[in-house]
Amino acid sequence: MAARSPSSRSLLAALLLFLPFVAHGFVFPQTRMSNILPSSRVQSTLIASLSTSSSSSSFASSTSRASPSSPFLRRRWRPLFQQQPPAGEELSGPTLSKDMSPIPPPSSSPLSPNYKTIAALLGGELLLGLLAFPVGHFFKINPLATAKAPMGFGPLLAVSALLTLPALLLHFASGREIEDMLRESLEGIFGSETAKKQPLVVIAISVLLSLSAGMGEEVAFRGALQPILSQVTNNPWMGLGISSFIFAALHAATPRYFLLALVLSVYLGSLQIRYANLWVPVMVHTLFDVVGFVQNHFWGGGKRGKEANTA
């Protein structure tokens, strides 16, 4: 077979391109197009309904200006959703009754406690505390070397409660941005309705999470990381500064919360240096978290909290 010339190839390609349009004319001739075109009554109803909406006013005006007697416009520019209803049926659509209330948007937080998230937080704090031991063993430092209670845990708890007050005052003065952020986070953990229906559950979960954070984070940072950095730099205050910066970076949800975590970490590290007792920062950290969790979930400072209390 002889090879086709470039001109014959171009002609064949043009025919193939126009073949769908030619087939369309035979399969859907003009006499059959009336089956999918709206009648004058349906067309006027659709145009009237479209003209009530400001967003579709231009479309309705362009549709009303089109001549229904023009076969070209009827065939090419009529939208396919304007179909003629079956015989004996009126044009109808979904209507919203006046007695029906709009569907409320879905809640962004669960109504009940999210126990999977709670378990993940507990496991993460536990893992953080456990990692302090192999790291401390590598640097020949025992994270629990200063964990002692010579006077008993009663007096130690009373002293730690007094030492928690400056941290709480700093938290309450940190602004509504942090309070709103903490409230949204706690609603995702506790559930938005738990405080109203099961307040003891909120308190129990708050104590459990606070104990895990107080033990795990303080053993890791004040028991292991701060002494290791103090030993490497040969300066206890340098170790305090670097470990506090790392602590704040891991809590940097917002820039303001980063500064709050940095100041609190410096305060906890200073207590460790002052008292040489790991239980002091552990208890201060735990009490601080318990009060913060309960206060933000029950009373919820800031804009969202006021809306919840007035509801």
- Per-residue pLDDT, averaged over 123-138, amounts to 95
The more confidently predicted of residues 113 and 282 is 282
pLDDT at 101: 53
pLDDT reading at 215 higher than 50: yes
Residue 4 makes CB contacts below 8 A (sequence gap 6+) with 12
Which tokens hold the place of 301?
């400072």
Q: Taken in order 216, 221, 222, 223, is the CA torsion positive or negative?
A: positive
DSSP state letter for 34: G
pLDDT reading at 222 higher than 90: yes
pLDDT at 206: 92
User: Which residue, chain included where needed, has tokens 């559950």?
Assistant: 201
Whether this prediction's pTM lies above 0.85 is answered by no
| Distance separating alpha carbons of residues 190 and 115, to the nearest angstrom | 8
- Per-residue pLDDT, averaged over 36-52, amounts to 49
User: Which residue, chain included where needed, has tokens 């709050």?
Assistant: 260
- Per-residue pLDDT, averaged over 79-95, amounts to 50
Q: Of the ranges 47-51, 132-136, 180-184, 217-221, which one carries the lowest mean pLDDT score?
A: 47-51
